[in-house]
Amino acid sequence: MLSAIATKMQLSAIPSEMLQRMHAYWESKRGGNSMPARADIDPVDFSWALGNVCLLDVETAPLRFRYRLAGTRLTRLYEVDLTGRDVDDIRPIEFRNLVRSHLQEVVETATPNLYCLSIANNGGPQTYMRLALPLRGPNGEVAMILMIIDFVGPTPEDTDVMAATRRRPGID
């Protein structure tokens, strides 16, 4: 049984240096706009975080989120390449709904959000911070979301592989 607790945090008090740097980068690329466009973002500028980054396409009618790319650290964590997959593929459904609601919030507000997520499964707890940053489309809409994750607690790299498998949500 998986349980997940999500706590929304203020962007003015980002506790992770990696997430602070990414937020500052995003802010620097906005110019006079409410958010930068995808073309304004250059992954070379944040090579220090690429393993922890996801880029999601936002599809409308109906609202869907598709992973355009996923960092290598996240791919190792989930033991599947998320690239090309939908958020709707996440299991269990409770965790999928949580992720969807946070991404939907970014689309509806056209502003970044920051959550601390604590996930517990029969393998143990895992805590991470997730910063979601909107990217502007040609008509000013949120067309993509740049998401970066920083792990706060133990990760599969810190423990045995089987324990890691038991404690994380999955992708079908």
pLDDT in tens, 80-107: 788 999 998 877 788 788 899 999 999 9
For residue 153, name the pLDDT band (cuts at 50, 70, 90). Answer: low
**What pLDDT score was predicted for residue 151?**
86
Residues constituting the chain: 172
Give me the CATH number covering residue 117: 3.30.450.20
Which residue range is the domain that position 76 belongs to? 3-171
Per-residue pLDDT at 79: 66
Closest Cα to residue 144, out of 50, 49, 68? Answer: 68
Least confident segment among 30-39, 115-124, 146-155? 115-124
Provide the pLDDT confidence category of residue 164 given band limits of 50, 70 and 90: very low
Greater confidence (105 vs 122) lies with 105
How confident is the model at residue 162, as a pLDDT?
Answer: 32
Q: Which pLDDT value is given to residue 78? A: 63
User: Quick one: pLDDT band at residue 170, thresholds 50, 70, 90?
Assistant: low
Q: What is the pLDDT of residue 96?
A: 83
Q: What is the mean pLDDT of residues 50-54?
A: 94
Cα 116 from Cα 26, distance rounded (Å): 20
Q: Give the chain as a 3 state SS string.
A: CCEEEEEEECHHHCCCHHHHHHHHHHHHHHCCCCCCEHHHCCHHHHHHHHHHEEEEEEECCCCEEEEEEECHHHHHHHCCCCCCCEHHHEECHHHHHHHHHHHHHHHHHCCCEEEEEEEEECCEEEEEEEEEEEEECCCCCEEEEEEEEEECCCCHHHCCHHHHHHHCCEEC
Count of domains forming the chain: 1
pTM: 0.86
